[in-house]
C-alpha cells in the first residue's frame, strides 16, 4: 500500500472545442432587449431555424459570448448595474435577497424573468421568500443572470477543476466553455492542485455562468493538508480571497456536527464528501464543534458583502445505496435547515446540497424532508445514483435519479460524468455528463408541466414525423452526433429527405405508412370515428361473421 502519487499518464489529445455554429447548425443567438431601471438588458436565447414554414424554436441558452480572448475574459453586462448599486447601497449588504425583501426588482431579476418567461415580480417574491437564489457575486460582472428554484426551469451544474494529480489551466477553461456550450447553468471549480488561485481567476473571468467553489479545499492547501491546522480565520481569509475574485456560491460544510460523526461509523461507505470528511476529522482531532457551524454568522458577514450564495454542503451524504436516507444524512439536513434560517436573517441567499446514492424508492423522501426542514430553500443534488454497480456508466445511473428528484422539486442537479469514482473527466466526459443532465432536467421540466417545456419536444417530434431529417438533427440536444449516427447507416444526401430511414427500410416505415393511412382515410372520408362506425355498419354482416369467431 502506498500513498505516493503514481506516475501520471499521457493525457489523450483533446480536440479543441468547435465553433458555436458547428455545434448548432441552423441556430443563431438572439437577444431579447429589455429596458429596466434605465439599463438595456440583452437576454440570450438560441433560435433554431426550421426548413419548413413552422416558426423557429427558441431555447434557453447558456453558452455565453463566443470568440472572446481567454486572457481578456468575456464582456461584463452587469458592470453598470453593480456600479450604480454600489453608489447607493448604504447597508453593505448587496445580496439579491436583501434587495428583493425591500421590494426592489434588480436588473438581474428582470433578466431572469425574461429568460424564464415569468413576471419580474414573481422572481422577486421567490428570492425574497428564500425559495429561489440568484447567484451573482458583485465581483462577477460577466454573469448572464440565472435563477435556481423549484418554481423555475430545473438547472444543472457541471464540475471542473484540476487535482494534484492531473490537468492544466487551459484545459479547465475549455471544460468551462464546453460545459456551458452543452447546457450547464452553473459550473463548480473544484481545483485542489497547483495554481489554484490563477486557475480560478481565469475561470471566473471567462464565465457567463455563476461559479461555485468549495473554499475548504484551498484552505487545506494552505495548511499543507494538515486538517487539524484549519482555523476559522484562515477560512474567512480564504472566503474573502475567493469572493474578491467573483465566486458566486460557496459550498460550506457547516452541518457536519461532532455528534453526527459517530453515526457514520457503521456505514458501508462512511463519509464520501471531501469537505465533510475534512470537517469530521477536524472535529474529532480537536474534540470541538465544527468551526463553520460555531462561526456561521461571521461567514454570513462575508457572504452578504459580495452577495455570495451559500450552498450548504451535505458532508454526510450517502456514498452507497446501503447508506441512503440514514440518521447521519438526515441529522445533518436538520442542521442545514437551522443554518438556512440564520443565513436568511442576514438576507444571505442559501441553497442546500443533497445526495448522492439513493435507490429510487427513497428519492422522494429526500425532497420532502429537505423542503420541510430547510423551509423550501432550493435543493441542489448530486445525481443521485440509483445503483452502485455501474462505474463507467454513472452518468446514466445518476441521470435516472436526477430526473426523478428534479421532478419532485429539486432546483438544480449536479452532473455526474462516466468517470465518476474512476478518474477525472476529460472533454468528452464533460460533454457526456452535461448532456445526460440536460436530458434529466428537461424530463423533469416536462413532468412538472413547466409552461413551454414541451414545445421543444413537439417541434422535434413533428419534424421526425414529417421526415424533416435536418430539422430533427438541428432540434436535438447534440445535432452533430445525431447526424453522424444517421449517416453511419445512410450517408447519402438523398437519405436526408427520404421518407424512411435505415431502421425499417421503405416497406416497413410506420411513419410512411401512417401518412398513407391518413391520406387513404381522407380520400375515403374515414377521418373520424363516426365515419368509421358508419362504414362498419354497412359492412356489418361481413364483420359479424368474422368478429363472431372470437366470441363463439
Specify which residues 187 forms β-bridges with. 158, 211
537 binds a second copy (CB under 8 A): no
How far is residue 269's CA from residue 321's CA, in Å, rounded to a whole number?
9
Please enumerate in sequence order all residues whose Cβ is within 8 A of that of 340, keeping only pairs 6 or more positions apart, or say none: 130, 312, 350, 352, 374, 375, 377
Residue 122 touching a second copy (CB under 8 A): no
Select the span of 107-115, 145-153, 170-178, 356-364 touching a second copy (CB under 8 A).
356-364
Q: Which listed residue (22, 66, 451, 465) binds a second copy by CB under 8 A?
A: 465
Measured at the alpha carbon of residue 364, what is the angle toward residues 358 and 370, in degrees to the nearest 5? 95
In the complex, least distance from residue 204 CB atom to a second copy, rounded to whole angstroms: 22
- By beta-carbon proximity to a second copy, the closer residue of 52 and 72 is 52
The residue (of 89 and 387) whose beta carbon lies closer to a second copy is 387
CB of 517 to a second copy, least distance (A): 5
- Of 375 and 512, nearer to a second copy (C-beta) is 512
Q: Which residue lies nearer to a second copy by CB, 106 or 410? A: 410
Using the minimum distance from each CB to a second copy, give the nearer residue, 89 or 269: 269
d(CA 134, CA 397): 29
Tell me the window of 78-86, 87-95, 236-244, 494-502 that interacts with a second copy (CB under 8 A). Answer: 494-502
How many residues make contact with a second copy (CB under 8 A)?
165
Residue closer to a second copy by CB (options 79, 517) is 517
Confirm or reject binding of residue 517 to a second copy (CB under 8 A).
yes
Pick from 225, 233, 368, 451: which binds a second copy (CB under 8 A)? 225
Other Cβ atoms within 10 Å of 355 Cβ, number:
27
Place of cell 435505415: 502
25 burial level (CB within 10 Å; 0-12, 13-18, 19+): middle
Please state the closest distance from residue 229 (CB atom) to a second copy, in A. Answer: 12
The whole-angstrom separation of Cα 425 and Cα 415 is 11
The Cα 170–Cα 334 span in angstroms is: 40
Instruction: Give least dist CB 304 to a second copy, A.
Output: 16
List 314, 435, 468, 471, residue binding a second copy (CB under 8 A): 435
Is residue 184 within 8 A of residue 209, CB to CB? The reply is yes
The answer to whether 164 and 193 have CB atoms below 8 angstroms apart is yes
Does 258 engage in binding with a second copy (CB under 8 A)? Answer: yes
Name the segment binding a second copy (CB under 8 A); options: 61-69, 77-85, 371-379, 484-492.
484-492
Query: Of 97 and 254, which has the nearer Cβ to a second copy?
Result: 254
Smallest gap from Cβ 519 to a second copy, in A, equals: 10
Q: Which stretch binds a second copy (CB under 8 A): 73-81, 126-134, 174-182, 220-228?
A: 220-228
Q: Which of 196, 247, 403, 430 binds a second copy (CB under 8 A)?
A: 403
Residue of 247, 271, 343, 351 interacting with a second copy (CB under 8 A): 271
Could you tell me how many helices (H) and strands (E) the chain has, helices first?
A: 22, 13
Minimum distance between the CB of residue 327 and a second copy, rounded to whole angstroms?
9
Q: How many CB atoms lie within 10 A of CB 495?
A: 15
Question: Does residue 421 belong to the site contacting a second copy (CB under 8 A)?
Answer: yes
Residue 350 · residue 135 · CB < 8 Å? no
> For residue 350, which phi and psi values (nearest 5 degrees)?
-150, 130
Distance CA 550, CA 32 (A): 62
Q: How far is the CB of 414 from a second copy (least distance, A)?
A: 14
For residues 84 and 286, which CB has a smaller minimum distance to a second copy in the complex? 286
Instruction: Tell me if 311 sits within 8 A of 214, measured CB to CB.
Output: no
Stretch that binds a second copy, among 34-42, 72-80, 115-123, 469-477 (CB under 8 A): 469-477
Distance between CA 259 and CA 177 in Å, rounded? Answer: 42
Distance CA 442, CA 435 (A): 10
Q: Which of residues 148-207 bind a second copy (CB under 8 A)?
A: 163-166, 192-193
Binding flag, residue 491, a second copy (CB under 8 A): yes
Helix (H, G, I), strand (E, B) or coil at 352: strand
Q: Render 209-237 in DSSP notation, one character per residue.
A: S-EEE-HHHHHHHHTTT-GGG--HHHHHH
CA dihedral of residues 210, 452, 360, 261 (deg, nearest 10)? 20
* Residue choice 218, 340, 397, 410 for contact with a second copy (CB under 8 A): 397
Which residue in the set 32, 102, 361, 372 belongs to the binding site for a second copy (CB under 8 A)?
A: 361
Q: Find all residues with CB under 8 Å of 47, minimum gap 6, and list them.
A: 27, 28, 29, 30, 56, 57, 58
- 415: contact with a second copy by CB under 8 A: no
Q: Is 531 in the site for a second copy (CB under 8 A)?
A: yes
Contacts with a second copy in 73-112 (CB under 8 A)? Answer: none
All three cell numbers of 386: 440509483
Q: Nearer Cβ to a second copy, position 240 or 446?
A: 446
| Shortest spacing between CB 111 and a second copy, in angstroms | 25
What kind and span of H or E run contains 331? helix 327-345
Task: Name the one range near a second copy by CB under 8 A: 25-33, 173-181, 202-210, 530-538.
Answer: 530-538
Contact flag: residue 534 with a second copy (CB under 8 A): no
Report the site for a second copy in 7-46 (rule: CB under 8 A): 7-9, 12
Which one among 55, 69, 88, 507 touches a second copy, defined by CB under 8 A?
507
According to DSSP, residue 455 is labeled H
Q: According to CB under 8 A, which residues from 273 to 332 bind a second copy?
A: 273-274, 276-278, 280-281, 284-285, 287-289, 291, 293-298, 319-322
Distance, CA of 197 to CA of 175 (rounded, Å): 17
Geometric angle at alpha carbon 376, from 372 and 378, rounded to 5°: 130
Amino acid at each position: 500500500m502506498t500513498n505516493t502519487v503514481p506516475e501520471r499518464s499521457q493525457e489523450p489529445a483533446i480536440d479543441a472545442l468547435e465553433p458555436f455554429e458547428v455545434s448548432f447548425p441552423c441556430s443563431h443567438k438572439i437577444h431579447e432587449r429589455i429596458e429596466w431601471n434605465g439599463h438595456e438588458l440583452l437576454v440570450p436565447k438560441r433560435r433554431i431555424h426550421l426548413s419548413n414554414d413552422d416558426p423557429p424554436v427558441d431555447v434557453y441558452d447558456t453558452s455565453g459570448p463566443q470568440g472572446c480572448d481567454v486572457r481578456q475574459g468575456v464582456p461584463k453586462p452587469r458592470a453598470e448595474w453593480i456600479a450604480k448599486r454600489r453608489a447607493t447601497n448604504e447597508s453593505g449588504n448587496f445580496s439579491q435577497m436583501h434587495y428583493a425583501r425591500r421590494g426592489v426588482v434588480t436588473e438581474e431579476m428582470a433578466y431572469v424573468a425574461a429568460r424564464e418567461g415569468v413576471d419580474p415580480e414573481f422572481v422577486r417574491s421567490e428570492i425574497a421568500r428564500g425559495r429561489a437564489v440568484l447567484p451573482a457575486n458583485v465581483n462577477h460582472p460577466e454573469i448572464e443572470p440565472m435563477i435556481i428554484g423549484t418554481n423555475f426551469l430545473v438547472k444543472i451544474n457541471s464540475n471542473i477543476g484540476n487535482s494534484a494529480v492531473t490537468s492544466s489551466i487551459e484545459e479547465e477553461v475549455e471544460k468551462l466553455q464546453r460545459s456551458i456550450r452543452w447546457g450547464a447553468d452553473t459550473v463548480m471549480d473544484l481545483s485542489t492542485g497547483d495554481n489554484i488561485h490563477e486557475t480560478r481567476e481565469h475561470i471566473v473571468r471567462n464565465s457567463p455562468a455563476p461559479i461555485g467553489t468549495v473554499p475548504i479545499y484551498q484552505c487545506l492547501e494552505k495548511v499543507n493538508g494538515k486538517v487539524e491546522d484549519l482555523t476559522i480565520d484562515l477560512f474567512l481569509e480564504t472566503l474573502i480571497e475567493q469572493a474578491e475574485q467573483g465566486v458566486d456560491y460557496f459550498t460550506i460544510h457547516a452541518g457536519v456536527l461532532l455528534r453526527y460523526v459517530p453515526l457514520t461509523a457503521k456505514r458501508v461507505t462512511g463519509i464520501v464528501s471531501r469537505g465533510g470528511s475534512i470537517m469530521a476529522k477536524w472535529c474529532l482531532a480537536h474534540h470541538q464543534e465544527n468551526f463553520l457551524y460555531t462561526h456561521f454568522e461571521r461567514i454570513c458577514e462575508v457572504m452578504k458583502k459580495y452577495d455570495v450564495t451559500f450552498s450548504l454542503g451535505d458532508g454526510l451524504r450517502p456514498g452507497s445505496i446501503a447508506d441512503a436516507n440514514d440518521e447521519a444524512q438526515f441529522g445533518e439536513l436538520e442542521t442545514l435547515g437551522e443554518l438556512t434560517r440564520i443565513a436568511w436573517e442576514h438576507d444571505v441567499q442559501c441553497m442546500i446540497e443533497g445526495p448522492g446514492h439513493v435507490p429510487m424508492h427513497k428519492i422522494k423522501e429526500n425532497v420532502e424532508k429537505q423542503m420541510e426542514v430547510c423551509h423550501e430553500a432550493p435543493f441542489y443534488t448530486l445525481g443521485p445514483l440509483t445503483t452502485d454497480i455501474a462505474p463507467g456508466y454513472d452518468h446514466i445511473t445518476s441521470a435516472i435519479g436526477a430526473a426523478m428528484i428534479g421532478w419532485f422539486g429539486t432546483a438544480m442537479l449536479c452532473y455526474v460524468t462516466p468517470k465518476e469514482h474512476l478518474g477525472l473527466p476529460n472533454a468528452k466526459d464533460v460533454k457526456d455528463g452535461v448532456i445526460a443532465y440536460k436530458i434529466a432536467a428537461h424530463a423533469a421540466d416536462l413532468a412538472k408541466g413547466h409552461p413551454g417545456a414541451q414545445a421543444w419536444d413537439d417541434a422535434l417530434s413533428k419534424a421526425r414525423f414529417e421526415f424533416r431529417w435536418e430539422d430533427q438533427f438541428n432540434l436535438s440536444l447534440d445535432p452533430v452526433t445525431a447526424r453522424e449516427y444517421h449517416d453511419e447507416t445512410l450517408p447519402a444526401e438523398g437519405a436526408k429527405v427520404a421518407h424512411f430511414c435505415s431502421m425499417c427500410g421503405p416497406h416497413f416505415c410506420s411513419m410512411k405508412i401512417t401518412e398513407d393511412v391518413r391520406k387513404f382515410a381522407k380520400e375515403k372520408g374515414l377521418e373520424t370515428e363516426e365515419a368509421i362506425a358508419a362504414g362498419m355498419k354497412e359492412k356489418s354482416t361481413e364483420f359479424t361473421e368474422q368478429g363472431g369467431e372470437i366470441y363463439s
